[in-house]
Structure 1
Protein backbone atom coordinates (compact mmCIF):
# COMPACT_ATOMS: atom_id res chain seq x y z
CA UNK A 1 0.00 0.00 0.00
CA UNK A 2 1.32 3.46 -0.80
CA UNK A 3 1.89 6.01 1.96
CA UNK A 4 -0.05 9.26 1.82
CA UNK A 5 0.01 12.48 3.83
CA UNK A 6 -3.33 13.92 4.84
CA UNK A 7 -3.72 17.39 6.33
CA UNK A 8 -6.60 19.74 7.02
CA UNK A 9 -7.14 22.78 4.86
CA UNK A 10 -7.49 26.19 6.52
CA UNK A 11 -10.81 26.56 8.28
CA UNK A 12 -11.45 22.82 8.66
CA UNK A 13 -12.33 21.52 12.13
CA UNK A 14 -10.65 18.84 14.22
CA UNK A 15 -13.82 16.76 13.80
CA UNK A 16 -13.10 16.57 10.07
CA UNK A 17 -9.63 15.21 10.82
CA UNK A 18 -11.13 12.57 13.11
CA UNK A 19 -13.58 11.62 10.36
CA UNK A 20 -10.69 11.26 7.88
CA UNK A 21 -8.81 8.97 10.29
CA UNK A 22 -11.92 6.82 10.68
CA UNK A 23 -12.35 6.70 6.90
CA UNK A 24 -8.75 5.49 6.49
CA UNK A 25 -9.16 2.65 8.98
CA UNK A 26 -12.65 1.73 7.74
CA UNK A 27 -11.31 1.35 4.19
CA UNK A 28 -8.41 -0.92 5.15
CA UNK A 29 -5.70 1.67 5.75
CA UNK A 30 -3.36 2.14 8.69
CA UNK A 31 -2.30 5.44 10.28
CA UNK A 32 1.48 5.34 10.66
CA UNK A 33 2.27 8.83 11.99
CA UNK A 34 0.32 11.73 13.45
CA UNK A 35 1.70 15.24 13.03
CA UNK A 36 2.09 17.53 16.02
CA UNK A 37 2.69 20.91 14.34
CA UNK A 38 -0.05 20.65 11.74
CA UNK A 39 -3.41 18.90 11.83
CA UNK A 40 -2.70 15.79 9.82
CA UNK A 41 -1.27 12.31 9.58
CA UNK A 42 0.54 9.80 7.35
CA UNK A 43 -1.20 6.58 6.46
CA UNK A 44 -0.69 3.46 4.42
CA UNK A 45 -3.81 3.39 2.28
CA UNK A 46 -5.04 1.26 -0.64
CA UNK A 47 -4.22 3.03 -3.92
CA UNK A 48 -7.67 2.31 -5.34
CA UNK A 49 -9.34 4.14 -2.44
CA UNK A 50 -7.25 7.35 -2.38
CA UNK A 51 -9.82 9.15 -4.53
CA UNK A 52 -12.31 8.88 -1.66
CA UNK A 53 -10.05 11.06 0.52
CA UNK A 54 -9.04 13.39 -2.31
CA UNK A 55 -12.69 14.23 -2.97
CA UNK A 56 -13.09 15.62 0.58
CA UNK A 57 -13.10 19.42 0.32
CA UNK A 58 -11.54 19.82 3.79
CA UNK A 59 -8.42 17.70 3.16
CA UNK A 60 -5.10 17.99 1.35
CA UNK A 61 -3.92 14.55 0.21
CA UNK A 62 -0.50 13.89 -1.30
CA UNK A 63 1.90 11.00 -1.76
CA UNK A 64 4.42 10.60 1.06
CA UNK A 65 8.02 10.75 -0.04
CA UNK A 66 11.50 11.91 0.79
CA UNK A 67 12.09 15.65 0.66
CA UNK A 68 15.49 16.91 -0.42
CA UNK A 69 16.98 20.39 -0.24
CA UNK A 70 19.20 21.78 -2.94
Structure 2
Protein backbone atom coordinates (compact mmCIF):
# COMPACT_ATOMS: atom_id res chain seq x y z
CA UNK A 1 0.00 0.00 0.00
CA UNK A 2 2.86 2.37 0.81
CA UNK A 3 4.41 1.71 -2.62
CA UNK A 4 1.14 2.61 -4.35
CA UNK A 5 0.95 5.96 -2.51
CA UNK A 6 4.57 6.76 -3.39
CA UNK A 7 3.90 5.83 -7.01
CA UNK A 8 0.90 8.19 -7.19
CA UNK A 9 2.94 11.06 -5.70
CA UNK A 10 5.78 10.43 -8.18
CA UNK A 11 3.38 10.25 -11.10
CA UNK A 12 1.70 13.50 -10.05
CA UNK A 13 5.10 15.21 -9.71
CA UNK A 14 6.10 14.09 -13.21
CA UNK A 15 2.84 15.26 -14.75
CA UNK A 16 2.85 18.66 -13.05
CA UNK A 17 6.55 19.13 -13.77
CA UNK A 18 6.03 18.50 -17.49
CA UNK A 19 3.04 20.83 -17.58
CA UNK A 20 4.96 23.56 -15.75
CA UNK A 21 7.45 23.77 -18.61
CA UNK A 22 4.75 24.84 -21.06
CA UNK A 23 3.99 28.54 -21.39
CA UNK A 24 0.98 30.09 -23.14
CA UNK A 25 1.82 32.20 -26.21
CA UNK A 26 0.03 34.12 -28.94
CA UNK A 27 1.76 33.96 -32.31
CA UNK A 28 0.73 36.29 -35.14
CA UNK A 29 2.11 36.79 -38.63
CA UNK A 30 1.91 39.58 -41.23
CA UNK A 31 -1.21 39.42 -43.44
CA UNK A 32 0.75 38.38 -46.53
CA UNK A 33 2.39 35.37 -44.85
CA UNK A 34 1.81 32.15 -46.81
CA UNK A 35 -0.27 29.52 -45.04
CA UNK A 36 2.66 27.09 -45.34
CA UNK A 37 4.78 29.29 -43.04
CA UNK A 38 2.03 29.31 -40.39
CA UNK A 39 1.58 25.55 -40.81
CA UNK A 40 5.33 24.97 -40.33
CA UNK A 41 5.30 27.09 -37.17
CA UNK A 42 2.40 25.09 -35.73
CA UNK A 43 4.16 21.83 -36.60
CA UNK A 44 7.35 22.99 -34.84
CA UNK A 45 5.32 23.60 -31.69
CA UNK A 46 3.66 20.18 -31.89
CA UNK A 47 7.03 18.49 -32.52
CA UNK A 48 8.41 20.15 -29.37
CA UNK A 49 5.61 18.69 -27.24
CA UNK A 50 3.39 21.78 -27.28
CA UNK A 51 -0.20 22.15 -28.37
CA UNK A 52 -2.20 24.61 -30.43
CA UNK A 53 -5.03 25.92 -28.27
CA UNK A 54 -6.73 28.30 -30.72
CA UNK A 55 -6.48 29.29 -34.38
CA UNK A 56 -7.44 32.86 -35.21
CA UNK A 57 -9.46 33.87 -38.27
CA UNK A 58 -9.38 37.68 -38.04
CA UNK A 59 -5.60 37.79 -37.77
CA UNK A 60 -3.14 35.31 -39.23
CA UNK A 61 -1.99 33.42 -36.17
CA UNK A 62 -2.76 31.09 -33.31
CA UNK A 63 -2.47 30.55 -29.57
CA UNK A 64 -0.33 27.76 -28.20
CA UNK A 65 1.10 26.20 -25.09
CA UNK A 66 4.72 25.34 -25.73
CA UNK A 67 8.19 25.25 -24.25
CA UNK A 68 10.32 28.35 -24.76
CA UNK A 69 12.64 26.39 -27.05
CA UNK A 70 9.79 25.87 -29.52
CA UNK A 71 9.14 29.61 -29.62
CA UNK A 72 12.81 30.22 -30.38
CA UNK A 73 12.52 27.84 -33.32
CA UNK A 74 9.35 29.52 -34.59
CA UNK A 75 10.90 32.98 -34.33
CA UNK A 76 13.74 32.10 -36.72
CA UNK A 77 11.97 29.69 -39.09
CA UNK A 78 11.21 32.25 -41.78
CA UNK A 79 13.61 35.01 -42.74
CA UNK A 80 10.93 36.85 -44.72
CA UNK A 81 7.80 36.51 -42.53
CA UNK A 82 8.72 37.29 -38.93
CA UNK A 83 6.12 36.30 -36.34
CA UNK A 84 5.16 38.40 -33.36
CA UNK A 85 5.30 36.15 -30.30
CA UNK A 86 3.71 37.30 -27.06
CA UNK A 87 3.35 35.54 -23.73
CA UNK A 88 -0.37 35.07 -23.19
CA UNK A 89 -1.92 36.16 -19.92
CA UNK A 90 -4.70 38.05 -18.27
CA UNK A 91 -4.84 41.73 -19.14
CA UNK A 92 -6.67 44.21 -16.94
CA UNK A 93 -7.24 47.94 -16.75
CA UNK A 94 -8.31 47.65 -13.12
CA UNK A 95 -5.18 48.66 -11.21
CA UNK A 96 -5.11 47.94 -7.49
CA UNK A 97 -2.92 50.29 -5.40
With normalisation by structure 1, the TM-score equals 0.82
User: Which structure ranks higher in relative contact order (CA pairs < 8 Å, sequence separation ≥ 6)?
Assistant: 1
Q: Does 1:66 align with 2:87?
A: no
Residue 8 (str. 1) matches residue 29 (str. 2): yes
For structure 1, list consecutive stretches of 5 or more residues without a partner in the other structure: none
Q: Which string of whole-angstrom CA distances, capped at 9 and with x for unpartnered residues, describes residues 21-62 of structure 1?
A: 111101111001111211111100012332112224421111
Structure 2 unmatched runs, 5+: 1-21
Give TM-score scaled by structure 2 length. 0.62
Q: 4+ residue stretches of structure 1 with deviation over 6 A?
A: none
Q: Which has the larger radius of gyration?
A: 2
